[in-house]
Amino acid sequence: MAKRDDELVFLPLGGSNEIGMNFNLYGFGPPQDRRWIVVDLGVTFGDQTTPGVEVILPDPQFIEEYADRILGIVLTHAHEDHIGAVAWLWPRLKAPIYATPFTAFILREKLREADLLEEAAITEVPLGGTIELGPFRLELITLTHSIPEPNGLAIKTPLGTVLHTGDWKIDPDPLLGGVTDADAIRRLGDEGVLAMVCDSTNVFVDGHAGSEADVRETLIPLIGSLKGRVAVACFASNVARMDSVARAAEANGRRVCLVGRSMHRMAAAARSVGLMEGLKPFLEDAEAKHFPDDGVLYLCTGSQGEPRAALARIADGTHPHVRLGAGDACVFSSRVIPGNEIPIRNLQNKLTERGVRLYTERDHPGIHVSGHPCRDELAEMYRWARPQIAVPTHGERRHLMEHAAFAADLQIPQQVTPRNGDMVRLAPGRAEVIDEVPSGRLYVDAGVLTPENGEALRERRHASFNGVVAVAVVLDGRNRLAAAPQIRAVGLPTVDDEDLAEVLEELVQEAEGAIKRLKGEEREYDDSVETAISRAVKKASQRIWGRRPVVETILLRV
């Protein structure tokens, strides 16, 4: 029974205005004393704008202050953008974790690597099960996606029911796992759904995403037509695709060799819950070398051009066991995630340079289907659930706005499109943004969590665009130059060695002039000397190169 000042709020701290890094909060109670649940806690990945950073996490600053009011962390499925931050951020939240068996298996491996397995309590919830957390009663609804055991959440509270879809699609024949539980969603609609927080990834795509069964039917003849060595790259988390590729290989007399740690991890997780049965044992990559070229299929990680993944090492010729060359083939049974176009293109060019023939969804559309709903599927979900409020999530701004307009066309009474950090009151009254809380990103930089505006990354970005100039200066006991400054330039353009020497001599003169212009007492302070040199060298660099490099001054006194 709701009290007079109780409110139900939705607060995304990741995954709204972006695809990935999902981190959603639901709060119930009066504004001064809410109880919270966390739905998903994922990561995104670095790109050319974050040099040296591979993993990016949502900043939990806001909810960390209320960690004692978190009733639980509920995970919808095992994709990295939904569970990848748990091992990093759980020590800050220390709430019990709830997941279905497959997701729990994957998460335990991550927690074990972080030495948290004994501390973080995971409660396994059966498919279709319920979770009671204070004023929240959560019912798991079986959906289909590109990973085993994806779940929607019916979040029931005294102020109404929210359907949180997570990632989903409608696949009549997903091959592994159950079909979308349309009856359960219709029953929710009959009971009354206050709001639906829904995936927006494919809102611009007409029709249906397609069935995994169709991919298998395409892969069997395609692989049968290939000669020599064959590699297939796909997302390791797409266990149904792994299963399809393996069965297509076996149908054509090829044994399957898993290449990449993630492939082995996902295969183990799948078999722990009874999936991928009836397949022959996978070959180890060292063992596969002893099979004829047309008797093996390599199932590889690295479809997105990840530099340390198996396929990248194969393309570079540095993999210890797997080689691809002229007459061989590589099938990309995956899509290009926005932002990965450049590394994928580079990877594919390297493979082509080796004489490998490529097969991608661009020229063979049937070798991949999306795991997210297209417009016809979204319309079907809205017809089943009939929510009063549409809350698009899991999309960039353009996706969320298009999704809201689409929901309005479907006669959904209210639409709200929050950004990360926008607190939305769902009830009582009309849905609206009532507050904005801190949100942002944390970077995993050499194993250390740093803020997104941290000095180290800022300097690295600056250096990557503008170069670095190092200046070594020695002052004697009377604060005079004991020798001419020594200067080195890194990442700055020069025509030849003679040109470089002239430029460096000009910078030496600028550094000397900066010191000579300092008053006597100013030379006594290291900061004053270093600042003067930095300003002079940057100004000269701007004149010479049109750039202001990072200037690092080393000052010695003798």
Q: What pLDDT digit, counting tens, does each position of 33-71 carry?
A: 999 999 999 999 887 778 888 899 999 999 999 999 999
Of 169, 166, 141, nearest in space to 154 by CA: 141
219 located within any domain: yes
- Does 2 reside within a domain? no
pTM of the model: 0.89
> Which residues are 8's β-sheet partners?
28, 427
Residues 193 and 246 both lie in one domain: no
* Triad 4, 6, 12: Cα angle to 5°: 155
Q: Are residues 197 and 220 in the same domain?
A: no
Range of the domain at 281: 212-364
- Neighbouring-strand partners of residue 74: 39, 98
Residue whose C-alpha is closest to residue 324's, from 259, 410, 408 = 259
- Residue 39 to residue 14: CA distance in whole angstroms: 11
197 and 129 fall within a common domain: yes
Within 10 Å of residue 397's Cβ, how many Cβ atoms?
A: 12
222 plus 155 within the same structural domain: no
Burial (CB count within 10 angstroms: exposed 0-12, middle 13-18, buried 19+), residue 219: buried
Same-domain pairing of 180 and 220? no
Residues 85 and 227 in one domain: no
Distance separating alpha carbons of residues 441 and 543, to the nearest angstrom: 36
Instruction: Look at the alpha carbons of 113, 116, 117, 122 in this order and tell me if their dihedral is positive or negative.
Output: negative
Q: What is the pLDDT of residue 447?
A: 85
Provide the 3-class DSSP secondary structure of residue 415.
Answer: strand
Determine the Cα–Cα distance for residues 469 and 504; give it in Å rounded to an integer. Answer: 10
Same domain, 299 and 376: no
**Residue 462: inside a domain:** no
Using the CB atoms, write b or e for 278-304: b if 16+ within 10 Å. Answer: eeeebbebeebeeeeeeebbbbbbbbb
Assign 193 to helix, strand or coil. Answer: coil
Q: Please report the pLDDT score of residue 495 as a whole number.
A: 62
Longest dimension (CA), the chain: 88
Token pair listed for 538: 């940057």
Q: Which amino acid is at 516?
A: K
Last residue of a domain, one of 364, 386, 410: 364
Q: What is the CATH number of the domain that holds 486?
A: 3.10.20.580
Q: How many residues are listed for the chain in this entry?
A: 558
**Which of 342, 364, 386 delimits the end of a domain?**
364
Residue 457 lies in a domain: no
Q: Is residue 65 part of a domain?
A: yes
Residue 459 lies in a domain: no
Among candidate residues 252, 202, 210, 209, the one with its CA nearest the CA of residue 232: 252
CB 513 within 8 A of CB 536: yes
Instruction: Let me know whether 299 and 353 are in one domain.
Output: yes
φ and ψ of 414, to 5 deg: -130, 150
> Could you give the dihedral angle defined by the CA atoms of residues 545, 550, 551 and 554, in that order, rounded to the nearest 10 degrees?
-150
476 and 530 share one domain: yes
Helix (H, G, I), strand (E, B) or coil at 161: strand
CATH number at residue 95: 3.60.15.10
Instruction: Tell me, yes or no, whether 1 lies in a domain.
Output: no
Same domain membership, residue 510 and residue 430: no
The series of mean pLDDT values per 10 residues for the chain, 558 residues long, is 91 95 97 97 86 90 97 97 97 98 96 96 97 98 96 98 98 93 98 98 96 96 97 95 97 97 94 93 92 96 93 96 96 89 95 98 93 97 98 97 98 98 98 96 89 83 88 91 91 76 90 90 90 93 90 91
Distance between CA atoms of 18 and 556, rounded to whole angstroms? 48
Do both 191 and 252 map to the same domain?
no
Could you give the C-alpha distances from 213 to 218, 243, 366, 444, in angstroms and in order?
9, 11, 10, 38
The residue from 364, 397, 423 where one domain ends is: 364
Beta bridge partners of 131: 138
Query: Is 458 within the bounds of a domain?
Result: no
Structurally, the chain folds into a number of domains equal to 3
Q: Residues 424, 286: one domain?
A: no
For 20-40, give one letter per residue: b (16+ CB within 10 A) or e: bbbbbbbbbbeeeebbbbbbb
* DSSP state string for 48-114: TTSTTEEEEEE--HHHHTTGGGEEEEE-S---HHHHTTHHHHHHHH---EEE-HHHHHHHHHHHHHT
Phi–psi pair at 16, nearest 5 degrees? -115, 130
